[in-house]
């Protein structure tokens, strides 16, 4: 239920939160992105059929298995100049923030910002 699923806009949220956002408008099921508000059509089979964000899944899994190593390695990248932009550390308001430990995701030109709760 907490698998990170990617919306069409590229933002990522856990499957359980996306199920709560699923809505009907104009006889079509939509999932509005909490970040940018772009609608993603709900696939047949529901939210579980959205693409799994594998990078986020692996980052969260690594943080759970090795919390000291994961939290130390991400900021080190930023301090060594590999990532000079802001690091995302907050989850969107109203989503399951305490279900999965927070993971730092560097925001730089080679990757999109991603959030997973």
Q: Decide if pLDDT at 6 tops 90.
A: yes
Greatest CA span in the chain, whole angstroms? Answer: 51
Q: Decide if pLDDT at 65 tops 90.
A: no
pTM above 0.75, yes or no: no
Q: Which one-letter DSSP state was computed for residue 5?
A: E
Helix (H, G, I), strand (E, B) or coil at 104: coil
What residue ranges do the domains of the chain occupy? 4-106
**Residue given tokens 């809505």 in the structure block:** 23
For residues 16-38, give the mean pLDDT. 87
pLDDT value of position 69: 61
Element (H, E) at 35: none
Cβ proximity of 117 and 34 under 8 Å: no
Mean of the per-residue pLDDT values for the chain? 70
């Amino acid at each position: 239920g907490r698998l990170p699923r990617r919306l069409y806009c590229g933002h990522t949220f856990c499957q359980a939160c996306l199920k709560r956002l699923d809505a009907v408008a104009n006889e079509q099921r939509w999932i509005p992105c909490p970040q940018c508000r772009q609608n993603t059509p709900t696939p047949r089979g529901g939210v579980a059929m959205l693409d799994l964000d594998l990078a986020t899944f692996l980052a969260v899994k690594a943080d759970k298995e090795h919390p000291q190593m994961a939290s130390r390695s991400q900021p080190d990248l930023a301090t060594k100049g590999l990532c000079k932009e802001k690091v995302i550390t907050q989850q969107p308001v109203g989503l399951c923030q305490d279900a999965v430990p927070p993971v730092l995701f560097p925001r730089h030109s080679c990757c999109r910002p991603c959030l997973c709760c």
